Structure 1
Amino acid sequence: MDYKKIHIPVMVKEVIQLLNPYGGIYVDATLGCGGHSLAILKRLSPDGRLISIDRDESAIFYANRILDDSRVILRKASFSHLKEVLSELNIEKIDGVIFDLGVSMLQLKDFERGFSFHSEERLDMRMDQTEPLTAWDVVNKYPEQKLTQIFRDYGDEPFARRIAREIIRQRGKKTIDTCKELADLVKRIVPRHGRLHPATQIFQAIRIEVNREFEELREGLLQAVELLNSGGRICVISYHSGEDRVVKNFFREEEQKGNLRILTKKPLLPSLEEVAKNPSARSARLRGGEKI
């Protein structure tokens, strides 16, 4: 798989303006294909350091190809273990951190990973493939009430109950094994609106459940702010209302505690030009803060 053909980092210009990297230690907490790391590296001073982490082994593998620089350290880890990673590197404080949330193109384009609507591979959706819980387990083992709750809470899906009921009905005949089977089931229930695939919110909700994304996010943000030097900055790109709500509320709480100064009273949005070039950026929301 050619990284350059599948990946366009989102809101790079805005991230660099907010983060303002130069000297010091910076963290890319969601390495992905390395786009934001590469942009930070271009601005980093000769004695600066960049720590890039990701829970997905494939992200580390691909990033090795473009981040061949003595200032960079790559580590496989979830950002909820940020303090642990930095402690192992004898780093007590950092000067900036970027979180680019959601699923990466590495995961979407690799049909074997079981993220894509079109994949006929087994449902998976694990960002860290050493974790036990898969999308197949959620779809085929969770009771109707729990499925409904997940679809509502994590996907804002108005047809949550009907979809959950249809999943249970289908499971009575045979297991729902592939992404395409699940996507086709949802398509029978949810009317299509514009370009958005009818199963988008359901896949999103299942992915969040499998990877414990909201819990991971809260823990990662807490650790990041604790680790920042005074004047250090945090940037977070989210892609749906649930994520953005977690980030917004966290920033407000930290501001009320006197720990953080919010730099973006409203989230920054991608330009129309960027969305035209990269449609996957259309739902991006960028928030930034500065440690007091």
Structure 2
Amino acid sequence: MQPLEEVQTYHVPVLLNDSVSGLIVKPNGVYVDVTFGGGGHSRCILNKLDAKGHLYGFDQDADAERNIVNDERFTFVRSNFRYLKNWMRYYGIEHIDGLIADLGVSSHHFDDETRGFSFRFESQLDMRMNKRAGKTAADILNTYEEEQLADVFYLYGEFRNSRKIAATIVKARQEKSILTTQDFLDVTEKLFTREREKKEMARLFQALRIEVNHEMSALKEMLYSSKDLLCPGGRLVVITYHSLEDRIVKNMMKSGNVEGKISKDFFGRIETPFNMINNKVIVPTEDEQKQNSRSRSAKLRIAEKK
């Protein structure tokens, strides 16, 4: 376990000050960091807690366990955040004062040449956040039906030519299994113009990663759990990196559901369990974007439980 003050290089937190400030941390409060990772946000929160406060940190990736904070006020939960409510019940916690989520993939994952998250490196197509369970990206590419693959690339990569991509993959795998990042590049890069190649490949890898880790369903479950767990005045702080997850977070904060369905009372007022703290998303400064490339697409949304 790592001491609280130790500087981490595992992952550079995005929008650190803005996000933790948005929690309005009460010294004796109970907080949850559902994306512990390198522990950057957690350490900042712990610095604001007194002896009665407590922080729970969730992460399903075994690599994150090396960063566990050695502090009596901290509990590490080795789990996907979709099980947030179950674990809080296990620890006897009925209500929390705040929750922070830094979604997407950490810089650690992108820079790890062995995990298959980036097409910059030649590696096995794994992409699992939890290496101990579930299908790999290679499993999906080699076993999904053509229609299933088309749905993945359409829903999570927003590709209009998703059917063509899927058909190309199915045809290619009949001759040779797609097992590495280079295999995947060899099969798909011919579908894109050289000018758009890098951006399109990034979207392809994103779509595949989301499917491997069931990211959208896990996010929805976590948000509904947070709605139930947050006490009045509790803060929900979420950093998103692409339009799919940002839309879900925005819908929850504005309407109380992930679909964004608005219900109104007798007087025509929108019924929602949250008050939006920032109607306009907070984005990193130019300096932060220069220092941390991952921050360029980051959007911070903050809501308060009524």
Q: 1:41 aligns with which of 22, 46, 51?
A: 46
Q: CA deviation at 1:198?
A: 3.4
Aligned to 1:130: 132
Q: CA deviation at 1:118?
A: 3.1
Aligned to 2:190: 188
TM-superposition CA deviations, 1:128-159 (whole Å, max 9, x none): 12322211111111122221221111012244
Alignment of 1:155-166 (within 5 A): 155-166=157-168
Take 2:222 and 2:111, find their aligned partners in 1: how far apart are those partners?
26
Take 2:183 and 2:200, find their aligned partners in 1: how far apart are those partners?
13
Take 1:62 and 1:191, find their aligned partners in 2: how far apart are those partners?
41
Aligned to 2:302: 288
Q: 2:105 aligns with which of 103, 106, 117?
A: 103
For structure 2, the residue ranges without an aligned partner over 5 or more in a row are 1-6, 257-261, 263-269
Q: CA deviation at 1:207?
A: 0.9
State TM-score, norm by structure 2. 0.88
Preserved contact between residue 282 and residue 299 of structure 2 (Cα < 8 Å): yes
4+ residue runs over 3 A deviation? 3-6, 192-198, 255-258
TM-superposition CA deviations, 1:167-188 (whole Å, max 9, x none): 1121121001102221343322
Alignment of 1:233-252 (within 5 A): 233-252=235-254
The answer to whether 1:4 aligns with 2:8 is yes
The answer to whether 1:141 aligns with 2:143 is yes
Take 2:158 and 2:142, find their aligned partners in 1: how far apart are those partners?
21
Q: CA deviation at 1:119?
A: 3.4
Preserved contact between residue 118 and residue 180 of structure 1 (Cα < 8 Å): no
Q: 1:172 to 1:266 in 2, by over 3 A?
A: same
Q: CA deviation at 1:192?
A: 4.6
Aligned to 2:217: 215
Q: 1:273 to 1:218 in 2, by over 3 A?
A: same
Take 2:97 and 2:193, find their aligned partners in 1: how far apart are those partners?
46
User: What's the secondary structure of 1:229's corresponding residue?
Assistant: strand
Q: CA deviation at 1:62?
A: 2.3
Take 2:185 and 2:45, find their aligned partners in 1: how far apart are those partners?
37
Q: What value does the CA root-mean-square deviation take over the aligned residues? A: 2.0
Take 1:194 and 1:188, find their aligned partners in 2: how far apart are those partners?
11
Q: 1:274 aligns with which of 273, 284, 288?
A: 288
State TM-score, norm by structure 1. 0.92
Take 1:158 and 1:6, find their aligned partners in 2: how far apart are those partners?
36
Take 2:161 and 2:181, find their aligned partners in 1: how far apart are those partners?
19
Q: 1:6 to 1:88 in 2, by over 3 A?
A: closer
User: What's the secondary structure of 1:198's corresponding residue?
Assistant: helix
Preserved contact between residue 18 and residue 288 of structure 1 (Cα < 8 Å): yes
Of residues 169-178 and 117-126 in structure 1, the stretch that sits farther from structure 2 once superposed is 117-126
* AA in 2 matched with 1:266: K
Alignment of 1:70-85 (within 5 A): 70-85=72-87
Structure number with the higher helix fraction is: 1
Q: CA deviation at 1:291?
A: 0.6
Q: CA deviation at 1:195?
A: 9.6
Which entry has the higher C-alpha Rg, 1 or 2? 2
Of residues 113-122 and 166-175 in structure 1, the stretch that sits farther from structure 2 once superposed is 113-122
Q: 2:36 aligns with which of 17, 21, 31?
A: 31
Aligned to 2:121: 119
Of residues 148-157 and 216-225 in structure 1, the stretch that sits farther from structure 2 once superposed is 148-157
TM-superposition CA deviations, 1:108-132 (whole Å, max 9, x none): 2222222221333321111112322
Aligned to 2:265: none
Q: CA deviation at 1:4?
A: 3.5
Take 1:257 and 1:57, find their aligned partners in 2: how far apart are those partners?
40
TM-superposition CA deviations, 1:91-123 (whole Å, max 9, x none): 111100011111122322222222221333321
Take 1:233 and 1:154, find their aligned partners in 2: how far apart are those partners?
28
Q: 2:152 aligns with which of 150, 153, 157?
A: 150
For structure 1, the residue ranges without an aligned partner over 5 or more in a row are none
Pairs aligned (count): 288
